[in-house]
Structure 1
């Protein structure tokens, strides 16, 4: 095991619903030694719609890291790795050749996809909202990313065009940040972790892979999806042009799962509640049999 120097620091990008934050910790400690937060604007073009500018999210990440590096001065050289935690289900589609978003990010609490839900329900026996629960663990609901992707494929001409040209990429906020930090259109890593993939309505929760039946149901092409990784491995390094160049990015967790870990609910049967933009109860169900193929979370 790699020896951890006493001056070693760990950085965390926390891209939430209302704010983006970058903070730094010492290994084994929970007290932040430096942090900076930037507010994110949410747009509501219609009632029930909720959108954010993906480029604003990325700009906020940069500003937060730059500010913290400035606070730390020479000590910033001791930051050896970064983690990413993020608002879940929020859906971003972008062009892999230009790096430009094809539409605003559709935020997790957006309900415009009610009509998409009706289309999917019409395909299943008895309009059963739990029909796919044994595959993805989720009820049919406008909440999840697959419904947002399908809406964009139908209503955003630029998305249709990019999918036809095979230049479209999808990601939740973690994937958007990772892809850009690791090079963007010049070799950026198109990955997500299981905690975020599990909230798309497209991942098989037994196999931890994108499920062919669900992809077929939504008519979503597999080539737009990121590769699913474990929550703890080295995904890549920060590319030139960003602060903390060449630092490893070695953890991704959806924000609710990250708070479960942060509250040290590491044993089966432990649970926590979060009260912020929403109320979320998460429960540690123990180790999945599928984990050995991906490594420990």
Structure 2
């Protein structure tokens, strides 16, 4: 994450549809429901906010709902948050145990992903999401206490929402780039996927298959990375939510810039954590280290629709 001000000034337009003569609302780069503190001021019109709110809600309530209750995660409606969680009684079919929220060892579910299709040189039609694997953060000690107290192991409940989760990652990545760039500085390859106009999220969203080392005390981390090669600049964002718990790391191809002069201008403006220059694509060899999971493994990249 950039270390600039918590509030990033408005660009005067909706960052999604670029309308200006409408009322604009603030946009959390990382959602408030998982502790996001960086805000793009006056950034989203009402129509676009409805679109992004829908997939954010699916992640917050369906994928992470019980976990957010159990861990008392941020919420604008804490007074309406349930005090107990109903869990099926494994020894009495049709019956439920009323578990105080603080006792329930809910799991925070994530997806493990391979490299985004576009960075593998795959056609946009190839959907890699069936290969994504579910993984979770669990509190082993809390699980043991629960089993001892209630006489049965906990049952984890969630709804599988891979597309909404990937759209959330794309939205986070797009907001991260807009901390230093204007919407017109680059071609936002990720935008049609955020707005639901394109469906194969695995084309632009991927991840590191191995787990990064835990980073105690860090709640979330985003990095803007740039790859420069002849006549084009690629802008890729790395995302890790709750790195203090050893969660997966992800990457999103946010956009690109064409032309030597324009690429140089935008590169000088973007606040990049890492940058790589590829002067001769023919001699390029992908980096084997999984830490650089966001580096392309095949060149040239396929063309994408405008």
Larger Rg: 2
Place the TM-score, normalised by the shorter chain, in its bin. under 0.3
Normalising by structure 2, we get a TM-score of: 0.26
Normalising by structure 1, we get a TM-score of: 0.26
